[in-house]
A and B are shown apart, each in its own frame.
Chain A
Amino acid sequence: SAVISQKPSRDICQRGTSLTIQCQVDSQVTMMFWYRQQPGQSLTLIATANQGSEATYESGFVIDKFPISRPNLTFSTLTVSNMSPEDSSIYLCSVGRMGDREKLFFGSGTQLSVL
């Protein structure tokens, strides 16, 4: 398994500001992903965090709004920029290992509320 620490666990932010969410894994992992879980809805993949290169974004998500960093194999950040109330969601970090590619491990999530 993988132990994933995600910070902050929750935050309340003002419209127009930005929040950076950190994801730290206790061991080197191959794949790191960021998901969004909007209230009462399922999980949607935002992007894949690529180590040493630009993240790969899914349709509907752009780098200017959700810049992602992954400086090494155990750490990634997701920034939610210029926030609006529509960005209020749970943001989840997820990791996968090459040895068991079909299984994903999830952090406990960051519950973001934008006023």
Chain B
Amino acid sequence: AQSVAQPEDQVNVAEGNPLTVKCTYSVSGNPYLFWYVQYPNRGLQFLLKYITGDNLVKGSYGFEAEFNKSQTSFHLKKPSALVSDSALYFCAVRDPQRSGGYNKLIFGAGTRLAVHP
């Protein structure tokens, strides 16, 4: 079965320091991977995706993610964290069994990022 795992419930980072939010995946075939962010009292916002091509994907708000096939990982990174980055982050994988434009995403449990001044 397709799945993603986010091993950390919470990540704490000091403002200005680099941050990493971890995600590993388990899929059959080529993975379609995504990161979404959920700010308090708001819906999810798309950050970035990996479909094919360069392993380092750049997204919104200065975030990037590195696809590592050998480690089946897709960690989210940012060189310098901001307090405003504090939010809930979800890794997701597209279910390859769905086709024809039907995009069922399987979400990880989420990681709460807390950036301290």
Interface status of B44 (Cβ within 8 A of chain A): yes
Q: Are B104 and A106 in contact (CB under 8 A)?
A: no
B29 contacts A by Cβ under 8 Å:
no
Interface band, chain B: 20 to 34
Nearest-Cβ distance from residue B76 to partner chain A, whole angstroms: 16
- Per the bound structure, the CA–CA distance linking A103 and B44 in Å amounts to 11
> Does B87 touch A at the CB level, under 8 Å?
no
Contact B44 A106 (CB under 8 A): yes
State whether A104 and B90 are in contact (beta carbons under 8 Å apart), knowing that A41-B109, A109-B43 are contacts in the complex. no
Q: Is the interface of B mostly helix, strand, loop or mixed?
A: loop
Let me know if A42 and B101 touch, CB within 8 A: no
Asked if B63 CB lies within 8 Å of chain A CBs, one says no
Interface residue ranges of B13-62 to A (CB < 8 Å): 32, 34, 36, 41-46, 49, 51
A80 CB to closest chain B CB, in angstroms? 18
| A32 to B45 Cα, complex, angstroms | 16
Interface residues of A (CB under 8 A from B): 4, 6, 30-31, 41-45, 48, 92, 94, 96, 98, 101-109
